[in-house]
Amino acid sequence: ELKAGVLALQGDVREHLAALAAVGVQAVAVRRASELEDLDGLILPGGESTAMDRLIRAFGLAEPLKKFIASGRAVYGSCAGMILLADRLAEPAVDLAGQPQRTLGGLPVTVRRNAFGRQRESFETELEFAELSEPERPVHAVFIRAPWVEATSSGVTVLATVRIEGIDRAVAVRSGNILATSFHPEVLTQEGNHAELRVHELFAGMMRQNREVLPGAEVSRKV
């Protein structure tokens, strides 16, 4: 059985745990470095990236999380999670001491937080999303003070875009073991018409593939 963690310092942890369980993945809340050891994958949830950044540092999790990301195991960030995975932020928040917020990185992109502006602070839309099952069925995507991906390095695949003022903005990307969405598929796991588990299924597929390619993973996980 696949086992995934959800970083549980802040944000919509419960929704991701439920979505993982719904796609048949054993799901656990992660608050300590030791809890990362036997995971096939990790989700960084939506919430507030500056608060998460502070808690990550306060709990001594920055290095363990960076190591996990670099290990090649599957990682998925939604919204604030996308911000945490970005190698660069277009306009990072600055705290009272003048320190810009930091990210864990791993995803070679530039992300702009709260990118959609005041007019479109929160909105829902239908998206075409490559690589999902039933690709002809759009994803009903919920955006809440969401970021977008403003620039990508080579090796990054854009999976979905939203057209804003004539420009297609990337709102779902993948680079190797890392998947990120600006929106929150985890909030729509139960709602009849819009029920959406395909992004979590995609993530489960990434974990399954890793079991085949990461040497020794199976062995170390059984002990």
SS3 199: helix
Q: Measure the CA–CA gap between 153 and 66, rounded to whole angstroms.
A: 19
**Which residue, 65 or 144, is less far from ligand GLN as judged by CB?**
144
Tell whether residue 169 is among the known ligand binding residues: no
Amino acid letter, residue 112: R
| Tokens 């096939």 sit on residue | 40
Catalytic residue among 15, 16, 37, 79: 79
Phi, psi (rounded to 5 degrees) for 189: -75, -20
**Which residue, 181 or 210, is less far from ligand GLN as judged by CB?**
181
x/- site string to ligand GLN, residues 10 to 49, per CB under 6 A? ------------------------------------xxxx
- Residue 194 falls in the annotated catalytic set: no
Instruction: For residue 185, give the nearest of 146, 142, 130 by alpha carbon.
Output: 142
- Residue 186 falls in the annotated catalytic set: yes
Tell whether residue 122 is among the known ligand binding residues: no
x/- site string to ligand GLN, residues 132 to 171, per CB under 6 A? ------------xx--------------------------
Catalytic residue among 15, 16, 184, 200: 184
Structure tokens that stand for 139 in this block: 């994803």
- Residue 140 falls in the annotated catalytic set: no
**Which residue, 47 or 106, is less far from ligand GLN as judged by CB?**
47
Tell me, what DSSP letter sits at residue 186? G
Tell whether residue 145 is among the known ligand binding residues: yes
Interface with ligand GLN (CB under 6 A), residue total: 11
Q: Which part of the chain contacts ligand GLN (CB under 6 A), choosing from 78-86, 161-169, 192-200, 210-218?
A: 78-86
Phi, psi (rounded to 5 degrees) for 133: -65, 155
Give 50-55 contacts, CB < 8 A, sequence gap 24+: 50/93, 50/95, 50/101, 51/10, 52/7, 52/9, 52/10, 52/11, 52/80, 52/84, 53/84, 53/101, 53/102, 53/103, 55/9, 55/10
Among 113, 169, 174, 198, contact with ligand GLN (rule: CB under 6 A):
113
Rule CB under 6 A: say whether 89 interacts with ligand GLN.
no
Binding site for ligand GLN (CB under 6 A): 46-49, 79-80, 83, 113-114, 144-145
